[in-house]
Amino acid sequence: MDLFDLKGKTALVTGGNGGIGLGMARGLTAAGARVAIAGRDGSKNAAAVKELGGNALSVTADLKDEKACRAMVEEAAKHLGRLDILVNNAGTNVRKRPEEYSLEEWKLVLDTNLTSAFVASQAAYPHLKRASGGKIVNIGSMMSLFGAAFVAPYGASKGGIVQLTRALACAWARDNIQVNAVLPGWIDTALTQRARKDIPGLHENVLRRTPAGRWGEPGDLSGIAVFLCSKASDFVTGTAIPVDGGYSSQG
Ligand SMILES: NC(=O)c1ccc[n+]([C@@H]2O[C@H](COP(=O)([O-])OP(=O)(O)OC[C@H]3O[C@@H](n4cnc5c(N)ncnc54)[C@H](OP(=O)(O)O)[C@@H]3O)[C@@H](O)[C@H]2O)c1
């Protein structure tokens, strides 16, 4: 038996059209899963589907919207024929000092990063149960663990992701559904390329502060996705696993 084999399994990866989500979608596809990716940008979705090849498909949806989020899960389950795996990866950030945020900005970040993960998980639950079990992977951050001056809503959303993960893991363990979080360190994606422009010295600080001495690549997240979505992790639930080149281990 291959513990990491995902042949016959289907997965929905939100924000799977680029960055970390696409890195995870690549891993799941290589392990044999049929993958649906979701994002707002139709052309990014199409390019990702082309890259993933085979039977991949995309759903265009803005996950800030509850109805769109639920409809995304139904559409993916319908086209995939079943749903075994949900990766809640879509995310965004607005960087400023806490006293400068509008409530709209706060809600934008919380709705995108945290509420969408809750709503999508709720919508996926009956499908996972129907499949006799399943896997949910939520994407946290180093900001699930640490504070920083410019991330009030982002840090709140990523701290919330860890507690949401634990709550779902406890509630759905008897349904054979494992729910875990992944906490990426600094990964080179569109999100952090923007941050590098906004924050002077960020690039050098990441290199200095990360024991591995480099930025992560989206491909660094492929293996953890396969592990947490395969039989290999059937007794692993409620965890929050850093994939950070040692960043969170260094004092
Ligand atoms: N890069 C890092 O260093 C790092 C570190 C820790 C955690 N993370 C987390 O990893 C996740 C992925 O980030 P990334 O770095 O890969 O950034 P990214 O390349 O900007 O990817 C973000 C993804 O989310 C999708 N998305 C954003 N808002 C959405 C919405 N309202 N509805 C649907 N899809 C939406 C985007 O697709 P569309 O634009 O097409 O909608 C895109 O696919 C996020 O949760 C982020 O917080 C990243």
**pLDDT tens string 86-95:** 999 999 999 9
Confidence check: pLDDT of 78 > 80 = yes
Nearest to 88 by CA among 112, 67, 104: 112
The three state secondary structure string of 144-156 is HCCCCCCCHHHHH
Between the CA of 89 and the centroid of ligand 1 the distance, in Å, is: 6
140/180 Cα distance (integer angstroms): 10
**pLDDT tens string 175-184:** 999 999 999 9
Residue with the nearest Cα to atom 29 of ligand 1? Answer: 90
DSSP 81-138: SS--EEEE-------S-GGG--HHHHHHHHIIIIIHHHHHHHHHHHHHHHTT-EEEEE
Q: Is 101 a catalytic residue?
A: no
Residue with the nearest Cα to atom 7 of ligand 1? Answer: 141
Catalytic residue among 101, 125, 154, 247: 154
What residue ranges define each of the domains in the chain, with the CATH number in brackets?
10-244 (3.40.50.720)
What is the reported pLDDT for 1?
75
Ligand 1, residues at Cβ distance < 6 Å:
15, 17-21, 39-41, 44, 61-64, 89-92, 112-113, 139, 141, 184, 186-187, 189-192
**pLDDT tens string 119-159:** 999 999 999 999 999 999 999 999 999 999 999 999 999 99
Between the CA of 174 and the centroid of ligand 1 the distance, in Å, is: 31
Mean pLDDT of 105-130: 98
Q: Which atom of ligand 1 lies at the shortest distance from residue 194's CA? A: 20
Residue with the nearest Cα to atom 42 of ligand 1? Answer: 15
**Cα–chain center distance at 199:** 24
pLDDT bracket for residue 26 (50, 70, 90): very high
* pTM reported for the whole predicted model: 0.98
Q: Which atom of ligand 1 lies at the shortest distance from residue 16's CA? A: 43
